[in-house]
Amino acid sequence: MAHGKKYKESAAKIDRTKHYSLEEAVKLLKETATAKFDETVEIAMNLGVDPRHADQMVRGVCELPKGSGRTVRVGVFARDAKADEAKAAGADIVGAEDLLEEVLKGNIDFDRCIATPDMMPLVGRLGKVLGPRGMMPNPKVGTVTPNVGEAVKSAKGGAVEFRVEKAGVIHAGIGKASFNEADIAENVRAFVASVLKAKPTGAKGTFLKQIAISSTMGPGVKVEVSSAS
């Protein structure tokens, strides 16, 4: 894909062969975020794993200390008192069989899905719908839990799920270009720490190989692994 004039001007400010300190990289990211909207700060991490092997899967959730900067709509599968708890915590949509029917119809009016453990036999029927979207509730990332109130507040406050892709790469949005440099750097370090904490038992050799950050429309900036971890 051909890049526009603004992208080329931004890319010219970055040495593609250099790995910058995190502070330098964040400064460059903000300088090259020139779109007319508030761009998302994105991180890409290249890991030394092969996720085709179960003991090398990397998955988890990170509580971004400065939030994600985006509005997250949360859907919750719960009944009775737990449904009330979810609503009180700020869930956008709460239900059981009625919510199941809406999702099966393609009406998915949420970005994050949470469920109480007793609802999983019901939610399991949505695997083919929610799975491909990366929205299937999972206890490993805290979206299958009896503490639905806490889970809703966490999702609303900036919790970001991550899962390694086939090529051993993790992508995630971890803030907005309008954040100040210190806040972006703090979110980057928190995310990297969460990924390192999720290192699988089957990982061999160097686990964290490379880190790069970028804005939605901007060029990637390579980051020194040591300065981000």
Q: Check: CB of residue 194 under 8 Å from CB of residue 62.
A: yes
Same domain, 199 and 97: no
Q: Which domain holds residue 28?
A: 15-68+159-228
190, pLDDT greater than 60:
yes
2 band by pLDDT with thresholds 50, 70 and 90: low
Same domain, 122 and 168: no
Token readout for 30 is 């903000």
Number of structural domains found in the chain: 2
3-state secondary structure 17-78: CCCECHHHHHHHHHHHCCCCCCCEEEEEEEECCCCCCHHHCCEEEEECCCCCCCCCCEEEEC
How many alpha carbons fall within 13 Å on the CB side of residue 141?
24
Max Cα distance, the chain (Å): 58
Provide the CATH number for the domain around residue 146.
Answer: 3.40.50.790
Q: Which of 129, 157, 185 is the last residue of a domain?
A: 157
Q: Which of 101, 134, 157 is the last residue of a domain?
A: 157
What is the C-alpha to C-alpha distance for residues 173 and 18, in angstroms, rounded to an integer? 23
Radius of gyration for the alpha carbons in the chain, expressed in angstroms and rounded: 19
77 DSSP β-pair partners: 95, 115
Q: Is residue 5 part of a domain?
A: no
1, pLDDT greater than 60:
no
Same domain, 127 and 186: no
3 band by pLDDT with thresholds 50, 70 and 90: low
Q: Is residue 84 part of a domain?
A: yes
Q: Check: CB of residue 185 under 8 Å from CB of residue 200.
A: no
Helix axis angle, 22-32 to 181-197, nearest 10°? 120
Same domain, 102 and 87: yes
Helix axis angle, 148-157 to 80-89, nearest 10°? 20
Residues 87-135: pLDDT tens digits?
A: 999 999 999 999 999 999 999 999 999 999 999 999 999 999 999 998 9
Q: Is residue 148 part of a domain?
A: yes
Measure the CA angle with vertex 106, ends 113 and 169; round to 5°.
Answer: 50
Provide the CATH number for the domain around residue 204.
Answer: 3.30.190.20
Looking at every residue in the chain, the average pLDDT score rounds to 94
Same domain, 116 and 90: yes
Same domain, 51 and 151: no
Q: Is residue 111 part of a domain?
A: yes
| Burial environment of residue 157 by CB neighbours within 10 A (0 to 12, 13 to 18, 19 or more) | middle
